[in-house]
């Protein structure tokens, strides 16, 4: 019989009564989970002679880790699938192992946080509008190499703001590629809308609350003050990079829409 107490719950995101202790715990566990996730991609690709490079990037407002496995495009499509979803597979495996461990060790808060974050990471990969692992798998299954750019070209054509580069992309695309670009656009527009609503309606408000708690802990001195400073750094640094990058991308997109660029001259 399934034990309902082993199921992840949103309370697992706040494992301790001290908010800053919960934040720091989640940060450390998230960092470890991220390294394992990206190494899974790297090792799965390496078996085919593709040696990916782990770096940091941005998805909308979020700073993320990513593994460049572009070399997989040289392989047949059926061989690309496992390296592309290796991170999801390892997340699921770890979550399952930790749930089983709780049967023997009891409901340890750290184990529950790890299960919560691993399952949350899997769910986040369904956000294909942010070029997640499932987005990469979507590319492989549809054999679309420039889906992201083609999607933008299709959208700007629909709103009559296409530039010469967009026209070239659409002219060179096959009917199948255009079909998948339109299908992806139907996922992208509502997905970004939901992401903005979630970020400003929930994430940003929760972040402001944690910042208030961190600031209130600093004047008390001692370990609480140190924890408050660390919490502020953990929150504000990636948040600042994410929002700055998102603002730059938005400004660039508006400029392209308002003033379509001139067609490049060829010799």
Tens-place pLDDT, residues 23-54? 788 888 988 999 999 999 999 999 988 888 88
Lowest mean pLDDT among 37-46, 109-118, 170-179, 246-255: 246-255
State the distance between the two ends of the chain, measured CA to CA, in whole angstroms: 73
- Sort 72 into a burial class: Cβ within 10 Å, 0-12 / 13-18 / 19+: buried
The pLDDT confidence band at residue 93, using thresholds 50, 70 and 90, is very high
Is the CA virtual torsion 31, 122, 198, 247 positive or negative? positive
Does 58 or 2 have the greater pLDDT score? 58
The pLDDT confidence band at residue 241, using thresholds 50, 70 and 90, is confident
Q: At what angle do helices 19-46 and 77-105 cross, to 10 degrees?
A: 140
State mean pLDDT over 42-69: 84
State mean pLDDT over 55-81: 82
pLDDT in the model for residue 8: 78
pLDDT in the model for residue 264: 39
Instruction: Sketch the domain layout of the chain as residue ranges.
Output: 1-143
Does 255 or 181 have the greater pLDDT score? 181
Contact predicate 33/95, CB 8 Å: no
Contact predicate 6/99, CB 8 Å: yes
Contact predicate 89/39, CB 8 Å: no
Is pLDDT of 148 > 80? yes
Alpha-carbon Rg for the chain, nearest whole angstrom, is 22
Alpha helices, H only, 128-221:
133-142, 147-158, 164-172, 175-198, 204-217
Report the C-alpha gap between 266 and 59 in whole angstroms: 34
Is pLDDT of 256 > 70? no
pLDDT in the model for residue 43: 93
- Sort 140 into a burial class: Cβ within 10 Å, 0-12 / 13-18 / 19+: buried
pLDDT in the model for residue 263: 44
pLDDT in the model for residue 265: 34
Q: Could you tell me the CA-to-CA distances from 245 to 56, 57, 62, 99, 238 in Å, in that order? A: 13, 10, 9, 37, 11
pLDDT in the model for residue 259: 61
Single pTM value for the model? 0.77
pLDDT in the model for residue 260: 53
**Continuous segment of H or E residues that includes residue 63:** strand 62-68
Alpha helices, H only, 47-108:
77-105
Q: What is the dihedral of CA 38, 41, 44, 47, to 10 degrees?
A: -90
pLDDT in the model for residue 234: 78
Token readout for 35 is 């390294």
Is pLDDT of 5 > 70? yes
Is the CA virtual torsion 124, 125, 127, 133 positive or negative? positive
Q: What percent of the chain has pLDDT over 90?
A: 15
Select, from the ranges 54-68, 108-122, 199-213, the one with the highest average predicted confidence (pLDDT): 108-122
């Amino acid at each position: 019989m399934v034990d309902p107490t082993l199921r992840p719950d949103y309370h697992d995101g706040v494992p301790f009564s001290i908010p800053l202790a919960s934040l720091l715990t989640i940060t450390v566990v998230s960092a470890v989970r991220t390294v394992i996730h990206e190494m899974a991609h790297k090792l799965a690709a390496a078996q085919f002679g593709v040696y990916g490079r782990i770096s940091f990037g941005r998805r909308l407002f979020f700073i993320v880790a990513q593994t460049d496995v572009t070399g997989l495009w040289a392989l047949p499509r059926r061989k690309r699938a496992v390296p592309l979803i290796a991170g999801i597979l390892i997340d699921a495996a770890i979550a399952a192992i930790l749930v089983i461990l709780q049967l023997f060790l009891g409901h340890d808060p750290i184990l529950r946080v790890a299960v919560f974050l691993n399952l949350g990471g899997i769910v986040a990969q369904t956000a294909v509008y942010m070029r997640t692992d499932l987005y990469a798998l979507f590319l492989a299954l549809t054999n679309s190499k420039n889906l992201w750019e083609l999607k933008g070209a299709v959208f700007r054509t629909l709103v009559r703001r296409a530039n010469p580069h967009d026209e070239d992309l659409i002219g060179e695309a096959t009917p199948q590629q255009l079909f998948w670009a339109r299908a992806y656009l139907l996922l992208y527009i509502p997905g970004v809308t939901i992401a903005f609503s979630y970020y400003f309606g929930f994430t940003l408000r929760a972040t402001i609350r944690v910042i208030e708690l961190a600031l209130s802990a600093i004047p008390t001195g001692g370990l609480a003050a140190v924890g408050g400073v660390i919490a502020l750094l953990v929150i504000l640094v990636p948040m600042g990079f994410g929002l700055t990058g998102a603002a730059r991308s938005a400004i660039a997109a508006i400029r392209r829409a308002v003033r379509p660029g001139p067609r490049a001259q060829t010799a």
